[in-house]
Amino acid sequence: MSKRQPCRCVCLPHRAVKSSGQAAVPFRINAGLVQSELRQLIEQHYPAVKTAGFRLLPVAGLTGESWKISSPAGDFLARHQSAQRQVSGADRQRESAILRHIARHKLGPRVRLYSPPWLIVDWVDGTPLEEQAFTDASVRNALCERLVTLHQLPPSGYRLDLQQQFARYWQHIDRRRLTPRWLRLHHQMLSQVPPSPLKLALVHMDIHAGNVLNTPQGLRLIDWEYAANADIALELAALIRGNDWNEQQKRAFLYEYVKAGGYQNLSLLQQQVNRWIPWVNYLMLMWFEVRWQQTGENQYSEWAHPLRP
């Protein structure tokens, strides 16, 4: 795979597109309506921001579903719960609860307001990492320290069930793209027993360079919409596969994770990560197929191709 392939990992039941064999129909958001709703929410809950004046700036790459609120009273990020995002895995209620759960550890942004369908958090000032930054030992060490801190927190109230998620994604893929081998693989993934967790913990499940900010206070993680309780080895497998790391990069990162105070049996950790790799591969395939069905963008079909059975 020539490009980094983002891993998207939590899907809640909500039908936003029909998938009975129809071709992908791009999902369109009424940005004007969304913006109007957000303005009303700000005027209702943030009179100081309204008085000071504010601007709404769409955040690039998120199809009009996230907006920066820029104001002399402070900068915030507003995240919208659209039907499309919910199908692909986002749940702002879960995201809000988890961010509150980790608030004192400064791993992610502070929640300001959750008012469905909106979640408003502090804007985190920082610079996203470049993809090649992961090859730097100091960056890997800093990220491992952040992950170890996260994985040592008490679990949240949300457990990730991959097989349930596979079944939900299945409802939103193009049936015409199915093959007998894919159908057999799907039944296999639903019937086999997942690996028993080495350690059940709160995991982020979408760690890539764009979601890791370099700030004056150190590395911070953003975009917690897929976070849940799961095996720490699943998190690490998703990070490794989602960033398309080779075997040497994988070994280096796991070594740094152990060295930073994570799970201390490196051999067992490596074995467990390897057990989760097929599950992550299937998770990526299903997510790419759902996103292709939603958007009609060829990049998702191209990313799915090497993962198709």
Query: Which domains are seen in the chain, by residue range?
Result: 125-307 (3.90.1200.10)
Question: What pLDDT digit, counting tens, does each position of 80-101 carry?
Answer: 887 777 777 778 999 999 999 9
Amino acid 13 reads: P
Of 141 and 62, the structure prediction assigns the larger pLDDT to: 141
Give how far the C-alpha of residue 197 lies from the chain's centroid of Cα atoms, to the nearest Å: 20
**Model pLDDT, residue 268:** 97
Whether 194 contacts 162, CB under 8 Å? yes
**Model pLDDT, residue 59:** 84
Q: How far apart are CA 120 and CA 77, in angstroms?
A: 6
296 phi and psi angles, rounded to 5 deg: 70, 10
* Range of lowest pLDDT (55-64, 79-88, 144-153): 55-64
Is the pLDDT at 124 greater than 80, yes or no? yes
Size (the chain), residues: 309
**Model pLDDT, residue 62:** 43
Q: Which residues pair with 201 in a beta bridge?
A: 230
Q: Which residues pair with 242 in a beta bridge?
A: none
Is the pLDDT at 285 greater than 90, yes or no? yes
Residues 6+ apart with CB under 8 A from 223: 206, 211
**Model pLDDT, residue 29:** 54
Whether 234 contacts 276, CB under 8 Å? yes
The pTM of the full predicted model, rounded to 2 decimals, is: 0.85
Give how far the C-alpha of residue 291 lies from the chain's centroid of Cα atoms, to the nearest Å: 14
Question: What pLDDT digit, counting tens, does each position of 213-272 carry?
Answer: 999 889 999 999 999 999 999 999 999 999 889 999 999 999 999 999 999 999 999 999
Amino acid 287 reads: W
* Range of lowest pLDDT (41-45, 61-65, 167-171, 256-260): 61-65
Question: What pLDDT digit, counting tens, does each position of 67-76 carry?
Answer: 899 988 889 9
Residue with tokens 């759960």: 101
**Model pLDDT, residue 36:** 83
Q: How far apart are CA 170 and CA 295, in angstroms?
A: 16
46 phi and psi angles, rounded to 5 deg: -130, 70
* Range of lowest pLDDT (31-35, 99-103, 218-222, 285-289): 31-35
Mean pLDDT of the chain: 85
Residues 6+ apart with CB under 8 A from 187: none
Residues 6+ apart with CB under 8 A from 43: 50
Confidence band (pLDDT; 50, 70, 90) for 274?
A: very high
Alpha-helix residue ranges (DSSP H) falling in 46-91: 47-52, 83-88
Give how far the C-alpha of residue 193 lies from the chain's centroid of Cα atoms, to the nearest Å: 24
**Model pLDDT, residue 60:** 64
E runs forming strands in the chain = 55-58, 66-71, 74-80, 111-115, 118-122, 127-128, 200-203, 212-215, 218-221, 228-231
* Range of lowest pLDDT (51-65, 179-193, 196-210): 51-65
195 phi and psi angles, rounded to 5 deg: -60, 140
**Model pLDDT, residue 128:** 92
